[in-house]
């Protein structure tokens, strides 16, 4: 039986984290965060090499190499509470860059199933991030990670959109769907129209906490989601998962190249002109 150091921060003397079952040295500094463990397997299958490092609860982790760059993927399960646990524990053992690889439902009519959405910021309609900081604090993606995702999607020729997402704690009523036996409250009438008017692109359930915690902890993060549904057209098709995964992996490689350029130039932040030197 493992001996845990304390109840305040449950980990072993070797640094094994209670929930994810990982210790320092088990992961790369760049970690892809799908919700579904099956997507973690899909992602690791795209790499040059991969090794399963741990599987506990909903947290399945692989570490390997993609195009010469160390990379990790850890599934988070559904929702912000489980995702926050993963972020806390991954950060404790060396994660520096986090990229969500998810699925989502579009609320703008021009977005099709199978398209990709690269999120720049998230509406914090979750409860978890509010446990860390006041609701007025913004949930925004790191600019380098966002640019790398855009660059990666362009390199593959995938159809993608860039903008704001809404993260919720409810797949049903929180996203304007009726609950069991058509349960409904009058405030649900306005959820989608108000978000559409605010130019929000889609719903999903993790970005707001990933972005908020990353900024609070000094990590960089981003997100790419495949569109499985369009709430305006009522289309639903599980398309784009592999494309989102490919884009996220390629973004990790791009970020590694940009980081190397920054180090050589002794620049605090990567910027496009560094690529010309």
**Residues with catalytic function:** 19, 89, 177, 231
- Ordered DSSP codes for the chain: -PPPS-SSS-B-TT--BTTT---TTSS-SEEEEESSHHHHHHHHTTSSEEEEEEEETTEEEEEEEETTEEEEEE---SSHHHHHHHHHHHHHTT--EEEEEEEEEE-STT--TT-EEEEEEEEEE-SSGGGTS-TTS-EE--HHHHHHHHHHHHHHT--EEEEEEEEES-SSGGGT---GGG---GGGGGHHHHHHHTTEEEEESSHHHHHHHHHHHT-EEEEEEEEEEETTTTEE----HHHHHHHHHHHHHHHHHHHHHHHHHT-SS--GGGGG-
- Give the CA distances from residue 217 to residues 66, 156, 191, in Å, rounded to whole numbers and listed in that order: 26, 32, 31
Residue 145 Ramachandran class (φ > 0 left, ψ -120 to 50 alpha, else beta): alpha
């Amino acid at each position: 039986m493992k001996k845990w150091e304390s109840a305040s921060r449950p980990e072993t003397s070797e640094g094994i984290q209670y929930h994810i079952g990982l210790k320092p040295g088990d992961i790369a500094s760049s970690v892809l965060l799908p919700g579904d463990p099956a997507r973690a397997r899909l992602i690791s299958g795209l790499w040059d090499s991969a090794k399963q490092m741990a599987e506990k609860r909903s947290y399945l982790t692989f570490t390997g190499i993609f195009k010469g760059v160390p990379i990790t993927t850890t599934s988070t399960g559904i929702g912000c509470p489980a995702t926050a646990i993963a972020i806390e524990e991954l950060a404790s053992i060396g994660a520096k860059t986090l990229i969500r690889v998810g699925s989502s439902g579009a609320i703008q009519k021009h977005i099709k199933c199978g398209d990709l959405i690269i999120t720049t910021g998230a509406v914090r309609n979750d409860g978890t991030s509010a446990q860390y900081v006041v609701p007025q604090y913004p949930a925004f993606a790191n600019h380098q990670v966002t640019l790398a995702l855009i660059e990666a999607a362009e390199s593959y020729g995938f159809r993608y959109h860039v903008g704001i997402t809404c993260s919720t704690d409810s797949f049903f009523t929180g996203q304007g769907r009726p609950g069991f036996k058509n349960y409904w409250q009058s405030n649900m009438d306005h959820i989608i129209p108000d978000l559409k008017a605010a130019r929000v692109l889609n719903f999903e359930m993790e970005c707001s906490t990933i972005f908020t915690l990353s900024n609070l902890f000094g990590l960089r993060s981003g997100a790419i989601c495949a569109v499985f549904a369009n709430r305006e057209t009522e289309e639903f098709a599980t398309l784009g998962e592999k494309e989102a995964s490919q884009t996220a992996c390629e973004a990790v490689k791009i970020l590694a190249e940009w980081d190397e350029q920054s180090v050589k130039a002794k620049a605090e932040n990567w910027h496009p002109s560094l690529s010309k030197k």
